[in-house]
């Protein structure tokens, strides 16, 4: 790095350890009040900045890149997903884009298991009974849910997170099957059975975990036609991206009992999610906390800073995506 510290615009409140490293190595424009910047405010605050360290909550479309100050040379995302960035527009503007892969697979896989257990064992309903003092007594018919142990888990997207989900599921003696656009090497399958066609896998699933990225080919992939193919009693969980789900189709299916339940950590248009989800008793809902552990959030921040360090040292960032 040069003697003059690069100016980094940080769009959200980051972990203390990450902000301390930022303040040590850069001229950091922090956001201590965690205000969400809309496009106009973001562009205004980026004036004179050399880099932006945003989260998935900020959107960098072609219109933003057209107005972004020329001083900004790199956007180092505090996220694995980078679908909030128009990478073609970034390339046209000469702005490098990085992300933070690998460091949140364990934390996200934990949330997938929580969603599976919460939806299957009716945890949301049960907690509400306790909190509202409406729990009356016990009986053999009370709060009967679905057992997870020994069931078949279908994973859509056996990537970084999907493989960890598969490993955790085996701890519950689950049979793991999966669908990917292409088959994984046999050594990386670890016994998981590959289905080339998603439609062929769905009838085999007791649980279906969506772990695919947000791509044109995956948006709305869980639609009415595919929900109809699920086995009776199947439970759907999604800790990847809300865009994978057709909300109308899933809500209609939940009302009709197929799927039997859903555990969701991500949504379309979050945090302003479709209010019908909250009215359904067979949903277990979390507020996008897949990576929300202290260890993971620190690791994400340090990974983003590693990318900035490399860039300003004249090296290729290890996690460059555009």
Active-site positions?
A: 241, 270, 288
Torsion from C-alpha of 278, 283, 287, 291, nearest 10 degrees: -170
Burial class (CB in 10 A: 0-12, 13-18, 19+), 95: buried
CA distances to 64, 79, 82 from 58, in Å:
11, 11, 10
CA–CA separation, 161 and 184 (whole Å): 14
Helix/strand/coil percent split, the chain, to 5: 35, 15, 50
63: phi then psi, degrees, rounded to nearest 5: -65, -35
Quote the tokens at residue 120: 């299957």
Distance CA 212, CA 306 (A): 26
DSSP of 251-269? HHHHHHTSSSEEEES--TT
**The two three-digit tokens of residue 321, written as one number:** 């995506």
Q: Is 97 helix (H, G, I), strand (E, B) or coil?
A: strand
Enter the tokens of residue 43. 């562009």
**Measured distance CA(29)–CA(131) in Å, rounded:** 42
Burial 263-283 (b: 16+ CB within 10 A, else e): bbbbbbeeeebbeebeeeebb
Listed in sequence order, the residues at least 6 apart from 220 whose beta carbon sits closer than 8 Å to its beta carbon are: 243, 244, 245, 246
DSSP alpha helix (H) spans, 194-246: 198-201, 224-227
């Amino acid at each position: 790095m040069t003697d003059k510290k690069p100016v980094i615009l940080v769009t959200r409140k980051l972990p203390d350890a990450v902000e301390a490293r930022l303040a040590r190595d850069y001229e950091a424009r922090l956001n201590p009040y965690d205000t969400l910047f809309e496009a106009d405010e973001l562009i205004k605050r980026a004036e004179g900045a050399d880099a932006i360290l945003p989260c998935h909550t900020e959107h960098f479309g072609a219109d933003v890149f057209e107005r972004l100050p020329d001083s900004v040379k790199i956007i180092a995302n505090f996220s694995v997903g980078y679908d909030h960035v128009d990478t073609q527009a970034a390339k046209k503007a000469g702005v490098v884009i990085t992300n933070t892969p690998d460091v949140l697979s364990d934390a996200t896989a934990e949330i997938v298991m929580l969603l599976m257990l919460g939806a299957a064992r009716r945890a949301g309903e049960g907690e509400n009974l306790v909190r509202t003092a409406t729990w009356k007594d016990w009986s053999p018919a009370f709060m009967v849910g679905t057992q997870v142990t020994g069931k078949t888990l279908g994973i859509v997207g056996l990537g970084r997170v999907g493989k960890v989900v598969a490993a955790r599921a085996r701890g519950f003696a689950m049979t793991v099957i999966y669908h990917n656009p292409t088959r994984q090497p046999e050594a990386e399958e670890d016994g998981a059975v590959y289905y080339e066609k998603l439609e062929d896998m769905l009838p085999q699933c007791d649980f279906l975990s969506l772990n695919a990225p947000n791509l044109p080919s995956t948006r709305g992939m869980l639609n009415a036609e595919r929900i109809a193919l699920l086995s009776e009693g199947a439970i759907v969980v999604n800790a990847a991206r809300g865009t994978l789900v057709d909300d109308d189709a899933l809500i209609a299916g939940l009302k009709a009992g197929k799927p039997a339940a859903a555990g969701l950590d991500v949504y379309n248009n979050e945090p302003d999610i479709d209010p019908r989800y909250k009215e359904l008793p067979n949903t277990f809902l979390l507020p996008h906390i897949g990576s929300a552990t202290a260890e993971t959030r620190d690791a994400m921040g340090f990974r983003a800073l590693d990318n900035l360090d490399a860039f300003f040292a004249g090296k290729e960032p290890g996690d460059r995506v555009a």
